Structure 1
Amino acid sequence: MTERSPAVSSVLLVGGRHPAAARAARRAGLRVHYLGPQHRAPDWLETEADAVTLLDTADAESVITAALAVHDERPFGVAITVSDAYIEAVAVVNERLGLPANSSWTTRAVNDKALMRDVLRDSRTAPVAAARVTTADQARQFAAGSGYPFILKPVDGTGSHGVTLVPDEGGLGAALAHTVEAGSGTWIAEEYLEGPEFSVETFSAAGEHHLLAVTEKFKGANFVETGHLVPARVSPETVRVMATEVMACLDAVGVTEGAAHTELVLTGRGPRVVETHVRPGGDGIVELVRLATGLDVQQLTFDWLAGRPLDLDRPRDTSRAAATWFLTPPPGSVTDIGGVQEALSEEGVTEAYLTVSPGDVIGELRSSSDRAGAVIAVGDTPDVALHRARGAVDRLRVRTAETSSAS
């Protein structure tokens, strides 16, 4: 059994529109003070938060300043967030107040993909060729040294946004025009890792990393994720090898506590880390892990902070699996939607939803925000869960009409 020392009695929850984190904190007996932007204030604050501070401007410095002011008036035990936008700001707050948490260096190393590669280069993780790119000439130099194909992506990108495959020398000019030469920030050039993709869900306590689950991932156009499956259909030995690689990554970037979500590719040379995040997995992975293993990652987080003893290495129930599949309709203006109730009526389906309305414009699939809905389903085996999710998503209906603005 593992428990946190010191335990806390209150948290500052920064950002986030879903109530799951606040509810988990309150179930753990913690007082919740919510801090976030006024224009995105969720509708559950009155019932799920004990105190609320809303900001007109929610950039990092504004969040840090406001959090320190909140602590002066009503001290909290730790600041926490499940939103990528605030992870670094929250780490700075905790450091300035001397509150135990992952360091600001750790969150910077995780959020800056080029810095992460620099750190991992000197670690026990398997090597991946990569370089920070700020000019087209630097991208050409990387290609000359490492060859094709390779990947260009923003160093601070999320949701698969901006991930570009450069297949060969002939495609380099178009890729550069779309990325580096477009003047949209700093990029990383990285060797293309070929093989099936997975994510490893972990929880760290007092510097020790514990495996929760391995998620099998499915990709569509432009590397956008179209589905997830827990547990992944791999052997126990493969799980062990992937977990070893991930633990080495977490050690290298200095993760000491909390949930982490690490993506990797199982290449012909073994697993290679793509990137890691010091937060639970998105895209419904938290729910898949809960359905398949009985472990609620959000609840683990706040039980740990509250000082409740955790048994993180107990045997997992392997008799259930869970999958999600996303709806990716053709680009265009949405003219008609429906089918949620029909999808929910399918065997094993626990959740079905749409994220668009008539009049919305759906662009080409370039990031997770271009998806239009999803289904979650369970089954006695991974194959059954996946079959049910993929079948039920076909019951969702989003019709589109071509429009010149869809791109």
Structure 2
Amino acid sequence: MPAAEGMKPMTRRSSRILVLNGTSRLLMKAEGLGLDIVNLRSDSNLDEKTRLLCSAVHVVDFSRTGEVLELVRGMHRDQPFERVICHAESLQVLAAFITDEFDLPGNSFHTARLLSDKYALRSRLRSRGLSRAASAVIADGEQLAEFISVNGPTVVKPRNGSGSWGVHFLNSANEAGTVWDAVTAAGLKEMLAEVLLVGPEISVEAFSIDGRHYPLSVTTKEKNGFIELGHAVPAPLGHEDSQACYGLVQSLLDAVDLRWGASHTEIIFTSDGPEVVESHSRRGGGHINELVRLVYGIDMEELMFQLAAGDEVSLQAAPHAQGAAAIRFLTAPAGTVCEVRGVEEVSGQEGVSEVEAVSSGHPSHGLRWSGDYLGHVITRADTADAAMERATRLSRLIEFDVHAPADKESAEKDLVQQTMREALDMFDITSLSSA
């Protein structure tokens, strides 16, 4: 294990931690660490073994912030928590609020708010000389048209969104009215407008311990517009470009005072140099953590549990890669999946690390954001390009038969509301007065 080899189990008492959401796969990474885990989640989708790993599991409505906090405060009074762990983008601010309220080690409410509010982050970066990109909060179509007239091609997105949901590209001011109609139809009252950053896009995966930041990997992306179709690790960058990205990310994490845990920062190589798109106080989505684990032997999800358990964790920046890994996401047209073919065939192919696909009866929503993926293929090879080629080729062997919905318009309206709840940060500070 090239970078995590220094992890040494310490004699420890059982630490009580609060985990917000998380899959069975994630939670099982705490097995054997002696943690007393309380899991708050938005659904009951845990297998029996994972339920037994947790001392308590509570299904809650995270959008009712005051009620959730009252539940947590009661549990903390009875038996204090020692840390909060959360990888869900929409719950980062809530996790940080709890961390601050109970004076726990971790990232502060201020840090989480800076990272969740894309306009606040851009403003902080500009004030530190870490960004040159123009941005503005837009409240109507006229303001959007004016921004485009001044700055040229523009990206419009929610200030606190994730997964590429609600993102629009505009080439001219003439498109502002149509885009704003779509924004209004989604129930949003303001958006962030930013000048379009042009160039190859990568992300930097890092891990921080007590405010010291360790860049671990650079991820390359394959996209369809703003939606990611796949990732590969390590990105085929030269040493100078990699170091420029690492330095930019370390400065960014210092600027927002991120103290611990995984982080994921998206960067575009413009003609003027690397520019930050956005950054997050969590590990990257789309199974990037698994790609980093395969290539570097470092599991950032597991590291967070180990730190919570009191283990000593030793990391080094820019560890040596052992080959490459890639993921290709599976999608299908909107409707209901009736049959899935090719999974077993692909699973047996050379270089395949993992294949997952939804089963018959699962809804398909086409491809509007990252929450619409129906599965994935993860492969290994000597280089990132070869791994991505293999994942892309094999993913085409998996086929979905889909029946279209009978009432497409009604289904789409319901889906917009559901997707908003998943993509936008759920922390509602106005509800705290009732808690």
1:249 equivalent in structure 2: 252
Q: Paired residue for 2:100, among 95, 98, 119?
A: 95
Q: Deviations over 1:136-160 (max 9, x none)?
A: 23222322322x2100001111111
After superposition, the Cα gap between the structure-2 partners of 1:106 and 1:314, relative to the gap in structure 1 and judged at 3 Å, is closer
1:76 aligns with 2:81: yes
1:366 aligns with 2:368: yes
Q: Deviations over 1:13-34 (max 9, x none)?
A: 3332412442333343322121
1:208 aligns with 2:212: yes
The farther-off stretch of 70-79 and 118-127 is 118-127
Q: Deviations over 1:210-245 (max 9, x none)?
A: 011110011114x11100000001111111001111
The 8 Å contact of residues 206 and 262 in structure 2, kept in 1 or not, is answered as: yes
Q: Which amino acid aligns with 2:287?
A: G
After superposition, the Cα gap between the structure-2 partners of 1:169 and 1:8, relative to the gap in structure 1 and judged at 3 Å, is farther
The farther-off stretch of 380-389 and 285-294 is 380-389
The 8 Å contact of residues 163 and 369 in structure 2, kept in 1 or not, is answered as: yes
1:386 & 1:349 partners in 2: Cα distance?
11
Shift of 1:327: 1.8
1:235 & 1:9 partners in 2: Cα distance?
45
2:400 & 2:185 partners in 1: Cα distance?
35
After superposition, the Cα gap between the structure-2 partners of 1:356 and 1:134, relative to the gap in structure 1 and judged at 3 Å, is farther
2:57 & 2:404 partners in 1: Cα distance?
43
The 8 Å contact of residues 8 and 78 in structure 1, kept in 2 or not, is answered as: no
2:164 & 2:359 partners in 1: Cα distance?
19
Percent identity of equivalent pairs? 33
2:240 equivalent in structure 1: 237
1:49 aligns with 2:44: no
1:115 aligns with 2:117: no
1:339 equivalent in structure 2: 342
Q: Which amino acid aligns with 1:107?
A: A
Q: Paired residue for 2:224, among 220, 224, 237?
A: 220
1:29 & 1:185 partners in 2: Cα distance?
46
1:82 & 1:165 partners in 2: Cα distance?
28
2:390 & 2:329 partners in 1: Cα distance?
13
Q: Which amino acid aligns with 1:278?
A: S
The 8 Å contact of residues 41 and 54 in structure 1, kept in 2 or not, is answered as: no
Q: Deviations over 1:310-331 (max 9, x none)?
A: 2211673423110000123334
1:220 & 1:15 partners in 2: Cα distance?
31
2:398 equivalent in structure 1: 396
Structure showing greater relative contact order (alpha-carbon pairs closer than 8 Å, 6 or more residues apart): 2
1:189 & 1:286 partners in 2: Cα distance?
30
1:328 & 1:272 partners in 2: Cα distance?
30
1:350 equivalent in structure 2: 353
Shift of 1:124: 3.6
1:204 & 1:291 partners in 2: Cα distance?
20
1:197 & 1:350 partners in 2: Cα distance?
25
Shift of 1:8: 8.2
Shift of 1:248: 1.4
Shift of 1:112: 1.2
The 8 Å contact of residues 149 and 166 in structure 1, kept in 2 or not, is answered as: yes
The 8 Å contact of residues 150 and 192 in structure 1, kept in 2 or not, is answered as: yes
1:375 equivalent in structure 2: 377
Q: Deviations over 1:110-141 (max 9, x none)?
A: 11111212222212412211111122232223
2:116 & 2:44 partners in 1: Cα distance?
23
The farther-off stretch of 225-234 and 329-338 is 329-338
1:379 & 1:173 partners in 2: Cα distance?
47
The 8 Å contact of residues 260 and 276 in structure 1, kept in 2 or not, is answered as: yes
1:74 & 1:106 partners in 2: Cα distance?
27
1:354 & 1:98 partners in 2: Cα distance?
41
Q: Which amino acid aligns with 1:51?
A: S
The farther-off stretch of 195-204 and 71-80 is 71-80
Q: Which amino acid aligns with 1:377?
A: T
1:310 & 1:224 partners in 2: Cα distance?
35
After superposition, the Cα gap between the structure-2 partners of 1:48 and 1:292, relative to the gap in structure 1 and judged at 3 Å, is farther
Q: Secondary structure at the match of 2:31?
A: helix
Shift of 1:399: 2.5
Superposed CA RMSD in Å reads: 2.5
2:32 & 2:129 partners in 1: Cα distance?
38
After superposition, the Cα gap between the structure-2 partners of 1:55 and 1:319, relative to the gap in structure 1 and judged at 3 Å, is closer
Which runs of no fewer than 5 residues in structure 1 stay unpaired? none
Q: Secondary structure at the match of 1:179?
A: helix
Q: Secondary structure at the match of 2:408?
A: coil
2:218 & 2:201 partners in 1: Cα distance?
10
The 8 Å contact of residues 201 and 259 in structure 1, kept in 2 or not, is answered as: yes
Shift of 1:291: 0.3
Q: Secondary structure at the match of 1:311?
A: coil
Q: Deviations over 1:140-196 (max 9, x none)?
A: 2322322x2100001111111111001112322222222257542421000101111
2:90 & 2:18 partners in 1: Cα distance?
13
Written as runs of structure 1 = structure 2, the 5 A alignment for 1:8-407 is: 9-37=14-42, 39-44=43-48, 47-58=51-62, 59-146=64-151, 148-180=152-184, 183-221=187-225, 223-313=226-316, 316-355=319-358, 357-358=360-361, 360-363=363-366, 365-401=367-403, 405=408
Q: Secondary structure at the match of 1:316?
A: coil
After superposition, the Cα gap between the structure-2 partners of 1:182 and 1:385, relative to the gap in structure 1 and judged at 3 Å, is closer
Q: Deviations over 1:270-319 (max 9, x none)?
A: 11111111011111101000001111111221222333222211673423
After superposition, the Cα gap between the structure-2 partners of 1:383 and 1:162, relative to the gap in structure 1 and judged at 3 Å, is same
Which runs of no fewer than 5 residues in structure 2 stay unpaired? 1-5, 413-435
1:248 & 1:382 partners in 2: Cα distance?
27
Q: Secondary structure at the match of 2:97?
A: helix
1:172 & 1:57 partners in 2: Cα distance?
35
After superposition, the Cα gap between the structure-2 partners of 1:108 and 1:33, relative to the gap in structure 1 and judged at 3 Å, is same
2:15 & 2:331 partners in 1: Cα distance?
41
